[in-house]
Chains A and B, each alone.
Chain A
Amino acid sequence: DVKVTQSSRYLVKRTGEKVFLECVQDMDHENMFWYRQDPGLGLRLIYFSYDVKMKEKGDIPEGYSVSREKKERFSLILESASTNQTSMYLCASRLGTGGYEQYFGPGTRLTVT
């Protein structure tokens, strides 16, 4: 079974702090994704990566950056956290060529105070 793990289930940070959210997958998937989930808005794509050191902006990249130095790990960075970034963050991975299904981690609920 594919396993996608996220470094924290719950996180509380202060406004202006730099925040790192880590995601690790164990199935050698090429593609990895970061979403944020908000009530009534579903999941919105922040950034994705097709391969190591490659990244592309999703629909709502403002205020975020990402890093993918190793195939199994994809990090989401909030350079200066703000209260409007309080949300649930979900990481997903997918096989590259021929892959359709995305496999999701359990999520990190981030609160910025």
Chain B
Amino acid sequence: AQSVTQLDSQVPVFEEAPVELRCNYSSSVSVYLFWYVQYPNQGLQLLLKYLSGSTLVESINGFEAEFNKSQTSFHLRKPSVHISDTAEYFCAVSEPAAGNKLTFGGGTRVLVKP
């Protein structure tokens, strides 16, 4: 069975500093990878996804993630965070051959300080 590990449960960061959220997954087959964001008191929104092709994927608000098959990782980065990036971030994986059910990591809470 697949599993997802987010190594940091909380990441405090100052405004305009870079941030990296780590995500590792375990699966022996081809996977799709996702990052979702949950702003306070809201549901989850898709931030970015990797399905195939280029291993570096970007979001419209400056986040990027890189799929590393050999290390089974999908770390999320942003070079300069804003106060509005304060949220909880979830890494998720699905196996196309298994009906594309999502398995989520435990989440990383990012707190951006002024």
Chain A residues in the interface with B (C-beta under 8 A): 4, 35, 40-45, 48, 58, 90, 92, 94, 99-102, 104-107
Contact B49 A40 (CB under 8 A): no
Q: How far is the CB of B71 from chain A (nearest CB, A)?
A: 21
Contact A43 B90 (CB under 8 A): yes
For the A-B complex, the count of residue pairs with Cβ-Cβ distances under 8 Å equals 49
Q: Mark B1-16, 1 if CB is under 8 A from A, else 0.
A: 0001010010000000
Contact B43 A106 (CB under 8 A): yes
Task: Collect the chain B residues with CB atoms within 8 Å of residue A45's CB.
Answer: 101-102
Q: How far is the CA of A107 from the CA of B88 in the complex (A)?
A: 14
Q: How far is the CA of A43 from the CA of B88 in the complex (A)?
A: 12
Task: Collect the chain A residues with CB atoms within 8 Å of residue B36's CB.
Answer: 104
A90 partner, pick from B9, B44, B51, B105, beta carbons under 8 A? B44
Q: How far is the CA of A107 from the CA of B42 in the complex (A)?
A: 7
Q: How far is the CB of B4 from chain A (nearest CB, A)?
A: 8
Contact A100 B49 (CB under 8 A): yes
Contact A100 B43 (CB under 8 A): no
Q: How far is the CB of B111 from chain A (nearest CB, A)?
A: 15
Chain B residues in the interface with A (C-beta under 8 A): 4, 6, 9, 32, 34, 36, 41-46, 49, 51, 90, 92, 94, 100-102, 104-107
Contact B102 A4 (CB under 8 A): no
* Besides the known contacts A42-B6, A44-B104, A90-B43, 20 further A-B residue pairs in the complex with CB atoms under 8 A apart: A4-B43, A35-B104, A40-B9, A42-B4, A42-B107, A43-B44, A43-B92, A43-B102, A58-B101, A90-B44, A94-B100, A100-B100, A101-B34, A101-B49, A102-B44, A104-B36, A104-B43, A106-B43, A107-B42, A107-B43
Q: How far is the CA of A98 from the CA of B46 in the complex (A)?
A: 16
12 A–B pairs (Cβ distance < 8 Å), ordered by A: A4-B43, A35-B104, A41-B106, A42-B6, A42-B90, A42-B104, A43-B104, A90-B44, A92-B44, A101-B46, A102-B44, A102-B102
Contact B102 A42 (CB under 8 A): no
Q: How far is the CA of A25 from the CA of B107 in the complex (A)?
A: 25
